[in-house]
Chains A and B, each alone.
Chain A
């Protein structure tokens, strides 16, 4: 079971992502952008890690989305291999049209955007732009719905950090939000520590529509998420006030995303 962790110029989370991939028992390697795209077919799954690919020129993710490796990745997605895009990886998947996966099938349109964070509290904008903190996520999809949350039960709470300037999911495509909800494509939402969805800052940390933190495509093999599961892989990485931090050998909440990917590949092999 071999995972390619994609690397574009400006990617900056590939090393800790590879650590996470390997720590759950998968093989993996970093796949540099100028390698022959054809080699991608030799892998069983893909992670597009976070960072600032191509310096976020024009807008986050758009230049990487035009690379040959992304065309090759579309084909791999088409045959059901799992792809997880984290943070900038999510932005790239949106720019390629792999997420949410078009309403008009095979049109390849970009149907949504991850816009600049706008933090709103009590009707007022209290902050904009880049933000780094630990957030609580509620798993919205049923288990087995999506590759990256395959082994996570619906309603499970995960504490995972975010760090981004553009994670505010917006769309003007008619019917898209309804479809995402109806088809179980909303994978994670931001919530409070008890799992309540409160659609304002600091719980909805970036202003995202319906507090959405992660979505998958219709078949469920492609997942995009703004939070960084690879940074919550060990319990010792948790913030000071989390009681699990005192049990440093325990797995962290983010580990479940990588375990899910592994399980998904095992089941679909």
Chain B
């Protein structure tokens, strides 16, 4: 394509006409480095590799500046497809976290399904067995002006997730759903996946040492390359416009969990083969940026060059070179391996697992060679279609974006105290953001693999016991509150980390690592970039000040080992609320000690830790009852937060607790109610508000009940109360014995000797279980 000698507008016109998203200066840089006009294929390859999605060109500097990524338990930080942390001396947990936002807004079912499909590949390609997924979802207002579209998106996304995950055979162990009008035109579909691998069996996503000298093979396996997902990463790196919907549909990938299921089993045989042969290979999945991204990154991270012949690629039809290079056809992997293994590897895929007969056109093909040069060359039909410096292609570019604080006018509303708390509580429990998630998680196969110990809906985090004969459990929780982020992007980030850690602590697991998927608007707009920077600062601050348990003395931060940045979540109507979505992995030495949140026994005493502050900014109460946002967003009091999390973990380890639940959306009132409403829902409770301490003076009853300040509600086992109080005090906490579990099926709350609320459990359960069904109908 001609660039040299043309004017900027002329270059711009020909780039856009070809469907290339890069800027004119970027195109000129490429022509300058090559010393000639680039070919069409070269421009497409660069366009993919230099996209925001692949290169992190706007975000990388900020991530590097703030985020802690190292720790004593870190086996691999955020350098390859997934991060890895140690469970013990033998086993590791592998985790990856991504977004699939744009595709899910356009084609919800396929978009969400390929999100799951992509994230499990990232984990599997480290040599790991994928053992769980989780899906943080953000949808628009189901009762707003775009209700029909919002519900269509929500239903399609949930369908895509279960259809893919269930068929693949990986349990969905957690996730969350938030409805908020900032997502009316831009849903967020984040996907998290975890796997387990033995420390000595990790496989790297790079060409191994001496691969160039020995001329290692480049082998492509899986589905035949087609034109699906063409330009997916470029599409993900632009704002969504409704008029582009037709063309954008072509950028959405096509999922196939069936083929993936077979591929995973064949991959296991590949892993076994290289273990037996004692030979190191490179193994990587094909995701964003397609074939070009996987091949060039594999070569350049080993420090080698690579020659590819597209004529050897198995394809679904005769496509042009640029399509074969960057299409995001799903269910493909790439192997870099020595020639002496070639026949054995091809046999695994093409004969043992019979790919060509399982799926039309699927197979393993040798498509190129590693060399000691520094070029990435691609030939097609006898012609050289790409010949570029491999490092230049993969290193991408960097932008220093401008940041400018967004001016937000917020104020606390002046609202009257409600007269009827029963009705207020019912309204809160029925709210789509508080109501039981059962309607959704019954679609998810939580039982496949037989590892589930605690399932969605039973506690604040899911817990699995993935290895028979081993006692350890892995807990997983996700979190981010867009309503907080709207008021304060910084506290939105900090509270997301704190709540995710509280969630895994509430089952008894020790927070071990975090991942972040940072969902923001257009980074070229200074206000959006400021929100992103603030969010990252908030995340980092919580990680650094809550410490990795066991390493408090060294003030060791909880490491973030994997993540993803998703910009351009905006449309002409505006951008999404700042949404730094966090996943937290917790490790339990003995999974049989884990507890859930349902009330266990009449007569048990209920304790609260975490005093109530006047923090109802972004709260469920302000929003649902008054339609207000407020200003006093919950903050993280780092020492208090850390002490609470550690104390709860220790109390569960000592066997003092029958149930635990953290306080977040809906405040103390919602948390207590949820403990009574969760199956088997056989007990009621009595709350004495006189026992609830407030951190601020003279808090009204509604503020005590619905403040979203951090905390935990704990059900003590009979006879453990004294020890529990002692333990909590040793962490400088002030335990409040706020109530009791009752055999009556009522939720009763009183203050100064008078009833505040007295609600029939079945009536409350009816509201709580129908809220989400109605919102998604």
Contact = CB atoms under 8 A, between A and B. Distances in A.
A34 B257 CA distance: 20
B679 A241 contact: yes
Nearest to A234: B450
A228 B453 contact: no
Given A12-B168, A163-B446, 8 more contacts: A10-B258, A10-B261, A11-B261, A12-B167, A32-B352, A54-B258, A163-B166, A231-B448
B113 to A, nearest CB: 13
B679 A231 contact: no
A173 interface: no
A239 B450 CA distance: 12
B576 to A, nearest CB: 29
B627 interface: no
B297 to A, nearest CB: 30
Interface of B: 162, 166-169, 257-258, 261-262, 352, 354, 357-358, 441-450, 452-455, 458-459, 465, 468, 591-592, 596, 598, 679-680
Contact of A131 (B258, B442, B459, B598): B442
Contacts of B169: 12-13, 51
Contact of B448 (A13, A56, A129, A233): A13
B354 A237 contact: no
B354 A240 contact: no
B444 to A, nearest CB: 6
| Majority secondary structure of chain A interface residues (helix, strand, loop or mixed) | mixed
A16 B449 contact: yes
A218 interface: no
Contacts of A52: 166-167, 257-258, 261
Contacts, number: 87
Nearest to A248: B592
Given A52-B167, A231-B447, A236 B465 contact: yes
A229 to B, nearest CB: 10
A41 interface: no
B448 A133 contact: no
Contacts of A231: 447-448, 450
B444 A132 contact: yes
A239 B458 contact: yes
B598 A55 contact: no
Contact of A163 (B448, B453, B458): B448
A1 interface: no
A240 to B, nearest CB: 4
Contacts of B168: 12
Which of B258, B453, B679 counts the most A-chain CB atoms under 10 A from its CB? B258
B399 to A, nearest CB: 44
Q: 7 tightest A-B contacts by CB?
A: A12-B169, A55-B258, A240-B596, A16-B450, A241-B680, A248-B592, A240-B458
Interface in A18-59: 19, 32, 34, 50-52, 54-56
A118 to B, nearest CB: 15
A230 B447 CA distance: 10
Nearest to A243: B600
B103 to A, nearest CB: 21
B164 to A, nearest CB: 11
B261 A131 contact: no
Interface of A: 9-13, 15-16, 19, 32, 34, 50-52, 54-56, 129-133, 161, 163, 228, 230-231, 233, 236-237, 239-241, 248
Contacts of A9: 258, 261-262, 358
A240 B459 contact: yes
16 contacts: A9-B258, A9-B262, A9-B358, A10-B167, A12-B448, A13-B169, A16-B449, A32-B352, A51-B169, A131-B443, A132-B442, A236-B453, A237-B447, A237-B453, A239-B455, A248-B592
B674 to A, nearest CB: 13
Contacts of A16: 448-450
B598 A133 contact: no
A9 B362 CA distance: 13
Contacts of A228: 447
A241 B595 CA distance: 11
Given A55-B167, A131-B442, A133-B442, A161 B447 contact: yes
Given A34-B354, A237-B452, A240-B454, A10 B262 contact: yes
B85 to A, nearest CB: 24
Nearest to A19: B468
A88 to B, nearest CB: 10
Contacts of A13: 169, 448
Residue of A12, A163, A228, A239 with most partner-chain B CB within 10 A = A12
Nearest to B592: A248
Contact of A236 (B261, B262, B591, B679): B591
Nearest to B446: A132
A26 to B, nearest CB: 16
Nearest to B468: A19
A132 B167 contact: no
Contacts of B442: 131-133
B450 A230 contact: yes
A228 B459 CA distance: 23
B445 A163 contact: yes
A133 B454 CA distance: 13
Nearest to B450: A16
Contacts of A50: 448
A52 B447 CA distance: 15
Contacts of A237: 447, 450, 452-453
A240 B598 contact: yes
Nearest to B593: A248
Contacts of A19: 450, 468
Nearest to A10: B258
Nearest to A34: B354
* Interface-centre pick from B354, B443, B450 (highest chain A CB count, 10 A): B450
B563 to A, nearest CB: 29
Contacts of A51: 167, 169, 261
Nearest to A233: B450
B189 to A, nearest CB: 19
B744 to A, nearest CB: 19
A132 B450 contact: no
A163 B258 contact: no
Contacts of B358: 9
Nearest to B457: A240
B78 to A, nearest CB: 30
Nearest to B256: A55
A236 B592 contact: yes
Contacts of A12: 167-169, 261, 448
A258 to B, nearest CB: 13
B590 to A, nearest CB: 9
Nearest to A252: B450
A260 B691 CA distance: 56
A4 B754 CA distance: 67
Contacts of A132: 441-447
A245 B598 CA distance: 14
Contacts of B452: 237
Contacts of B357: 34
A244 B679 CA distance: 16
B591 A163 contact: no
Contact of B447 (A56, A129, A163, A236): A163
| B167, B169, B449, B680 — most chain A CB neighbours (10 Å) | B169
A130 B444 CA distance: 8
Contacts of A236: 453, 465, 591-592
Nearest to A56: B167
A10 to B, nearest CB: 5
A233 to B, nearest CB: 7
A50 B448 CA distance: 9
A239 B458 CA distance: 8
B264 to A, nearest CB: 9
A84 B447 CA distance: 19
A132 B257 CA distance: 19
Nearest to A165: B166
A139 B759 CA distance: 39
B762 to A, nearest CB: 15
